Amino acid sequence: MDRSVEGWFHGLMGMVIFSGSLPATRLAVADFSPLFLTSGRAVIAAILAAGILAVLRPKLPTRADLVALVPVAIGVVVGFPLLTALALQHISAARSVVFIGLLPLATALFGVLRGGERPRPVFWVFSGIGAAAVAGFALVNGGAGALGGDLAMLAAVLLCGLGYAEGAVLSRRLGGWQVISWALLLSLPPMALFALATLPLSWAAISGSAWLGFAYVSVFSMLVGFIFWYRGLALGGIARVGQLQLLQPFISLVLSALLLREVVSWPMVATTGLVVLCVAGAKRSA
């Protein structure tokens, strides 16, 4: 399979998995605190990653690799999960997921700064139109929302873009699943301490839906999705494959409608069509 095609396939799989993250987080924060949710999911994913590393025995990261893993851990293991969990205490899932449409620009920006990529100017035009469509949809259809929640989502997007770009650069040397696995292990000691310090007071009070959300973000959002996503970015290009994230908010909104019973309106469908065109244009011009 052509490297570019393989990159887009892996990126698509990762994006679909990530699409369930915010609806699942919304379910989980109903009964779990943001701090425990963030640390607990990282601990579970780190244990799974340790098992994978023990079985497959990849080469150990160098000292320079360990330094580069720090922003990956800060961005995708700690920053994005914590900030989105905090945001979802104040804004709806429907409002939060549309901010994810800004992730391609954040990822492309850090890809230029850290990955040495130089997409053509037309690429930025398509990206800007797609991001503006998502932002307009959020403002017009997202509801009132709380300023604190919106700001938390913007900060989450920036940190996630950094983590995606740094992880993609490292994936070229270490491999996609190795990057997220080592980043999780690097984060394990502090995350384990936070998890112990923020344990729920009563496990019996936690609903089944909250447990399902917790399980999803721990296994799929925190580990499996990144195995696909980082390989996709490394093979297909950070800025190019990153444009798939423009589709993520609308898949998430459909999941929100199914899981949280939120309304899927015609403006969502219309905006999705525009975003699909922007993704296609960005792919051709990157």
Task: Measure CA of the first residue to CA of the last residue in the chain; give whole Å.
Answer: 20
Answer for the pair 37, 81: CB distance below 8 angstroms, yes or no.
yes
Please tell me the predicted confidence (pLDDT) of residue 20. 94
Please tell me the predicted confidence (pLDDT) of residue 70. 95
What pTM was computed for the model? Answer: 0.85
Answer for the pair 43, 195: CB distance below 8 angstroms, yes or no.
yes
Short-list 177, 171, 280, CA closest to 223: 177
Answer for the pair 186, 70: CB distance below 8 angstroms, yes or no.
yes
Domain span at residue 155 reads: 3-285
Please tell me the predicted confidence (pLDDT) of residue 72. 94
Backbone phi and psi for residue 236, each to the nearest 5 degrees, phi listed first: -100, -10
Work out how many domains the chain is built from and give that number: 1
Please tell me the predicted confidence (pLDDT) of residue 104. 77
User: For each of the chain's 286 residues, which pLDDT tens digit applies?
Assistant: 677 788 889 999 999 999 999 999 999 999 999 999 999 999 999 999 999 999 999 989 999 999 999 999 999 999 999 999 999 988 878 777 777 777 877 877 787 776 566 777 887 888 788 778 877 776 776 555 567 888 899 899 999 989 988 888 888 888 888 999 999 999 999 999 999 999 998 999 999 999 999 999 999 999 999 989 888 888 888 777 877 877 887 788 888 888 887 766 777 678 777 877 777 777 666 5
Question: Helix (H, G, I), strand (E, B), or coil: what is residue 265?
Answer: coil
Structure tokens at 257: 């409608």
Say which DSSP state 99 is in: G
